[in-house]
Structure 1
């Protein structure tokens, strides 16, 4: 069995780097290729002092089988689209998949106050090949929004980006990962 220590080391480094640069970050910033992954998007503040009323996550190409977690007090919606590259899941060819997940607060009482943080969660399967995967997140507030969608032209450094997308570093495991639900 291969050691997973390099994956955990990469997670720690990437998480520290992302937290310093971005305000919507993934709890776990690295994951094995071809594995089930729980994406917890941490929202650390509102928009210019206003409470967060909506979060929309655009699912990057290659992230498969997205299933969002409902959040009490929030309306959950998904948008599906035809895939440019179909994939196989349990012997079935998947030609359409979730490309966007949105959570919208059901009124002011359910909005996320500026002084608090929360997480918005979904799961899916990472691509079979390693590399950076960027989740673009639109944070809507009472009277403003933050579009966390900037990505570097190359590499994974978000230095100099004012509103970087949430980065997941997919790491080749050297062996086929177990598929879990």
Structure 2
């Protein structure tokens, strides 16, 4: 084997290793917001569950909610072929939400396959509405358990550390953005709608003004044409 062939073979092996390692690193349970997850507000998030096995299917997902920053409102969206259960736990310190004392909060969400599975080479998303998000935290860590139909359980519970390599079984992490000042779901949408309405009104006013200017200009041009016609007729008569 010549030098060129050896270099090409080494490069191919290295590229294959990168592809395999990349697939392994990113094929884990994660959480992503649908839009923005702002501190002190409400957000809808997706728990994304890929199937990592070639000979088994995922049949259960258990997500543990943070206990140090509890949320009073946790509402899963129905997913066809799956049942969902939300467990609650007593709080060591009651929450004050809209003037009401909350003594217990959701602690775990469990999705169980009921006529559906996540097969090899597939993934499934499980949407959940969360709130009120904490105001004094930059992220939320959700430890998760993924169960396969061969009874294997994968524990996604290792919390990633800033500046450190990603752990082998990282827990899903939801990063929170800066507070927007509107702590209710749909606040940003309402603001955008208000801005759109104002823009439409401004555009309409501008169009009306332009139409008036053009109308006055047309009248002036017409009057000038009539005057010119009268003068021309007088000259011909003379």
Calculate the TM-score normalised by the size of structure 1. 0.77
1:120 equivalent in alignment to 2:135: no
Is the helix fraction higher in 1 or 2? 2
Within-5 A mapping of 1:45-84:
45-47=51-53, 49-61=55-67, 62-64=69-71, 65-84=73-92
**Is there any run of 5+ residues in structure 1 with no aligned partner, and where?**
1-18
Within-5 A mapping of 1:22-33:
23-28=28-33, 31-33=37-39
Matched residue SS, 1:60:
coil
Instruction: From the CA coordinates, give the structure whose radius of gyration is larger.
Output: 2
1:93 pairs with 78, 90, 101, which one? 101
**Is residue 33–residue 43 contact of structure 2 (8 Å, CA) maintained in 1?**
no
Look up the match of 1:149. 157
Within-5 A mapping of 1:97-112:
97-106=105-114, 109-112=115-118
Calculate the TM-score normalised by the size of structure 2. 0.60
Q: 1:86 to 1:157 in 2, by over 3 A?
A: farther
RMSD: 2.4
- The offset of 1:97, in angstroms, is 1.0
Is the strand fraction higher in 1 or 2? 1
Deviations 1:116-175 (A, max 9, x none): 1110121112101232210111111111121111014xx4456241100001112333x5
User: Does 1 or 2 have the higher relative contact order (CA < 8 Å, sep 6+)?
Assistant: 1
Aligned positions, number = 158
Structure 1: which 4+ aligned runs deviate by more than 4 Å?
19-22
